[in-house]
Amino acid sequence: MKQAFLRITALLLLVVMLALPLASCANRGTPMLSLTVDGKTYTFSVNLYELMLSAMKGTLAAYGYTSEGHKPTEDAYWDIMDTHDGKTMESADEYCRKNVLDNCKTYLIAMYLFDKYELELSESAKKKIEDDLAELIKTDGEGSKTKLNSILSAYGVNYDMMEEYFIMKAKLTAVQDHIYSTLGPNIKQTYMEENYVHFYQIFLANYTYEYEKDKNEDVIYYDPTDNSVCYKKTEFTQTDASGKVETDKKGKIIYYTDVTRTHISYDTEKGQPSYKVAENGESYVTNPMTEKELERLTERANDLYLSLKNATATQFKAAIEENSDDANASAAYTDGYYLQKGMDYSASGEDYMYLETIVEKLEASDVGAVTMIPSTSGYHIVMKFAPTDKAYEKEENEVWFKSFASGLTAQIFADRCEPYYDLITMDESVYQKAPNMKQVAVNYFYY
pLDDT tens column, 194-239: 999 999 999 999 998 899 999 999 999 999 899 999 999 999 999 9
Enumerate the CATH 1.10.4030 domain ranges in the chain, comma separated. Answer: 2-182+404-433
Give the C-alpha separation, 112 to 126, whole Å: 19
CATH of domain 192-207+288-397: 3.10.50.40
- Residue 16's pLDDT is 41
Q: What is the pLDDT of residues 283-326, one digit of tens each?
A: 889 899 999 999 999 999 999 999 999 999 999 999 999 999 88
Give the C-alpha separation, 146 to 140, whole Å: 11
Q: Measuring CA to CA, how many Å separate 388 from each of 193, 330, 332, 340, 398?
A: 9, 16, 16, 15, 14
How does 358-380 read in b/e, with b if 16+ C-beta sit within 10 Å?
Answer: bbebbeebeeeebbbbebebbbb
Q: What is the pLDDT of residues 265-278, one digit of tens each?
A: 999 999 999 989 98
**Better-predicted residue by pLDDT, 270 or 348:** 270
pLDDT at residue 11 tops 60: no
Q: Are strands 286-288 and 207-209 parallel, antiparallel or unpaired?
A: antiparallel
Q: What region, left, alpha or beta, does residue 69 occupy, with left being phi > 0 and alpha being psi -120 to 50 degrees?
A: left
- Residue 410's pLDDT is 87
Closest by CA to 80, choosing from 284, 70, 286, is 70
5 pLDDT tier (thresholds 50, 70, 90): very low
Q: Measuring CA to CA, how many Å separate 316 from each of 19, 189, 321, 368?
A: 45, 25, 9, 10
CATH of domain 2-182+404-433: 1.10.4030
Enumerate the CATH 3.10.50.40 domain ranges in the chain, comma separated. Answer: 192-207+288-397
pLDDT at residue 424 tops 60: yes
**Better-predicted residue by pLDDT, 139 or 8:** 139
For residue 214, give the 3-state DSSP assignment. Answer: coil
Q: Are strands 272-273 and 221-222 parallel, antiparallel or unpaired?
A: antiparallel
